[in-house]
Amino acid sequence: DNFPEIRVQAEVSARENRVRRFGGEPEILISEIYDEILKKHPQLSPATVKKIIDLEIQMEKIVLYKNARGSCLFEKAISDGCKVILISDMYLPSAILKELLTSCGYDISNIPVYSSGEERYSKNSGKLFSIVKKNENVDIASWMHVGDNVHADILNAKKLGINTLHADWSEYNHGISNH
């Protein structure tokens, strides 16, 4: 079988099933993607699927790197005493996101990390920003959101009155990964 195609289709199915079963947004976790693979490929054991999930996370670790400009902003915010919160539209749970960022050299031991998959709401809809605001008691007027997705990170944040900075330095790297 063609694993990349199977993986993509499993994610699509997991998102569709999430909305069909619970309504709301199609935000899922990696475990739900692989549950779909197990349903369609019962010859795979749960132990094998767990190994594949671990391999996917290891691949994320291999390709993820510390961006110099992003790192400078992060370190400056920390040294200036800003409250830093990391927010990701991602199917990986926050514990894994923390592990990945730590492996890149970020000290995020005291930094909250939010995953749309765990929260079941996204930056793309704007609702994840509202969850973070409430949970972290953040004043919108003092919030500066940095992100690379024009729609989710910039336009949706601005609609809520959040100051934004477009991380356009990552566009070059996205181009490389798409080829």
Q: Which two tokens stand for residue 13?
A: 């199915």
Q: What is the CATH number of the domain that holds 138?
A: 3.40.50.1000
| 14 and 58 belong to one structural domain | yes
Query: What integer pLDDT is reported at residue 155 of this predicted model?
Result: 94
pLDDT at 172: 53
The pLDDT tens digits of the residues spanning 13-32 come to 999 999 999 999 999 999 99
CA distances from 32 to 17, 37, 51, 88, 111 (A): 10, 9, 15, 18, 26
Are 165 and 133 members of one domain? yes
Range of the domain at 24: 3-63
Q: What is the DSSP letter of 155?
A: I
CB 91 within 8 A of CB 28: yes
pLDDT for 143:
92
In sequence order, the 6+-apart residues with CB closer than 8 A to the CB of 19 are 25, 26
pTM of the model: 0.89
63, 83, 101 - which closes a domain: 63
- State how beta strands 144-147 and 113-115 pair: unpaired
What's the sign of the alpha-carbon dihedral 148, 153, 159, 163?
A: negative
- Same structural domain for residues 46 and 76? no
